[in-house]
Amino acid sequence: MKSSDAFTGFFGPRTFRYGRRSYGRSAFAAALGVAVWSGAGLADEASDKARFIGGQTTAVPKAEVRSTGGESSPGGAGYRFSVANGDARVPVVVVGGEPWQMGWQVGHLLKDEIGRFVPAVVDGFKKELGLDDAELDRVWSTTAAFTDDRIEQELGGLAAGSGVALRTLQHAHCLPLLMPYSCSSIAAWGAATADGHLYQTRNLDWSLEAGAHLFPALVVYLPAGGHAHVLPTFAGFIGANCGLSASGLALSEMGDSSRKEMPYNVQAPHFTTWFRTLMYDADSLTEALDIFHRTPQTKRYHFVFGDGRTDRRAVKILSHSPEPPPRNIRIWKDNDPTDELAPAVLPQVVYQDEGRGAFGPLKEKHGTLNAEAMMDLACRIPIKGGNVLNAVFDATALRLWVTYAGTDAEAYQRPFVFLDLTTLDGDADGNPDLVEKSADTNGNGVPDFLDAPGAVSGR
């Protein structure tokens, strides 16, 4: 799928007249007030040279901005710093508390980016697709009835903290429910990897015209209840297009729906919200699958769920809700002769690359796969022309590497930034964030992860 297809009429025949014309650029560029790259013509093999891999950033990044109080704060806390590699620089926001509080902290710490990006991107989509506010209200109110309350609460906090209207943020979170896109993922573990860790990739192949990659963000949640988790996302988007939880669960998605099947079912939560539910609540792959089976599904997807710490394996899921049972849900283990890609299957590996060449390198490097090899693989299989984001998770050691498209190159051509969740220590007291979390055990009114004396500076 070309990225421009993402903008072709997702409400069925009445907007199909757009055909395959490349569009979206003018409205988005105008709305964002920035030069948004078209993607066309630049994604050739020669420019692969520009890509470089690895580059570990500082082990314990210093908080650049802290938010632990102030009159407007509803509680919780957060801090912000950046991870960088070459000319790639990605803001990291670490927040803790109840969902509303965490939403407020994200909104507060990314206020500038959210204000510049979200209203503009919603305007751009509405113009390009002929959607009005009433239609987006209807979509949101329908899907919200099926959506985890914690996500809705967080969205309310995000609106209060960022100053962007709640309705605008709700509309922004309707967009992934309404449009088709395509992606890939690979998981490898145990004997397939050099150190036995579970590594999982995720390519997000979507629209470069929307400019989301110009507003990247890594958001780390330290919820008052449930597991800590991290999302490689975009400023103002709290849904998880992929993610990693502190219980070692890595989640990836690939969209399979065609434009012909529009309009899609919205009487279900979008995967980007129930991915958050899984990361909050699932202790293992087994529990993640239990929650998945209880969740109504929208349109057609593949998912890869990996567990690097408890079950220590991954599965590939086909979830095609328009099909009757049992064809609507299929789950494949590694080396599965019934896998849709069999006989191109391997032990301790599951993947879906839509035929873009992962099997050869996977077979060749089986037994020696590591983070660098997985980054290399992730950069070999994107849909060129629409590669917005690539991520590699080490779901055993709780580390991740992420690359976003830039102003002149796609994600696969750009440097990866690195984040190790286990070394985060926002108040520099020697106790990691993942250990301290958001309780207030000393009763000083500040969550433990940001409460060391001298570290508190209200903002």
How many residues does this entry show for the chain? 459
Residue among 343 and 443 whose Cβ is closer to Ca ion: 443
Q: In 3D, which of 265, 64, 23 has the Cα closest to residue 146?
A: 265
Structure tokens given for 18: 């757009």
Tell me the C-alpha distance between 273 and 173, whole Å.
Answer: 9
CB of 424 to Ca ion, least distance (A): 8
Residue among 253 and 425 whose Cβ is closer to Ca ion: 425
Pairing relationship of beta strands 88-97 and 216-223 according to DSSP bridges: parallel
Alpha-carbon separation of residue 368 from 180, 189, 248, 250, 363 (angstroms): 35, 10, 21, 20, 10
Residue among 267 and 431 whose Cβ is closer to Ca ion: 431
CB of 218 to Ca ion, least distance (A): 18
CB of 427 to Ca ion, least distance (A): 4
CB of 310 to Ca ion, least distance (A): 25
Alpha-carbon separation of residue 330 from 11, 73, 170, 318 (angstroms): 28, 45, 31, 5
Alpha-carbon separation of residue 48 from 293, 385, 408, 411 (angstroms): 40, 13, 13, 11
Question: By the 8 A CB rule, do 101 and 160 touch?
Answer: no
Q: In 3D, which of 18, 162, 53, 150 has the Cα closest to residue 104?
A: 162
CB of 109 to Ca ion, least distance (A): 18
Residue among 184 and 438 whose Cβ is closer to Ca ion: 438
Residue among 422 and 431 whose Cβ is closer to Ca ion: 431
Tell me the C-alpha distance between 291 and 10, whole Å.
Answer: 29
Residue among 410 and 436 whose Cβ is closer to Ca ion: 436
CB of 414 to Ca ion, least distance (A): 31
CB of 70 to Ca ion, least distance (A): 16
Residue among 228 and 282 whose Cβ is closer to Ca ion: 228
Q: Which residues make up the interface to Ca ion (CB under 5 A)?
A: 425, 427, 429, 431, 436, 440, 442, 444, 446, 448, 451-452
CB of 230 to Ca ion, least distance (A): 17
- The string of DSSP codes covering 68-137 is ---TT--S-EEEEEEEEETTEEEEEEEEEESHHHHHHHHHHHTHHHHHHHHHHHHHHHHHHHT--HHHHH
Residue among 22 and 423 whose Cβ is closer to Ca ion: 423
Say whether 420 sits in a helix, a strand or coil.
Answer: strand
Alpha-carbon separation of residue 187 from 24, 48, 283 (angstroms): 34, 23, 19
Pairing relationship of beta strands 349-352 and 387-394 according to DSSP bridges: unpaired
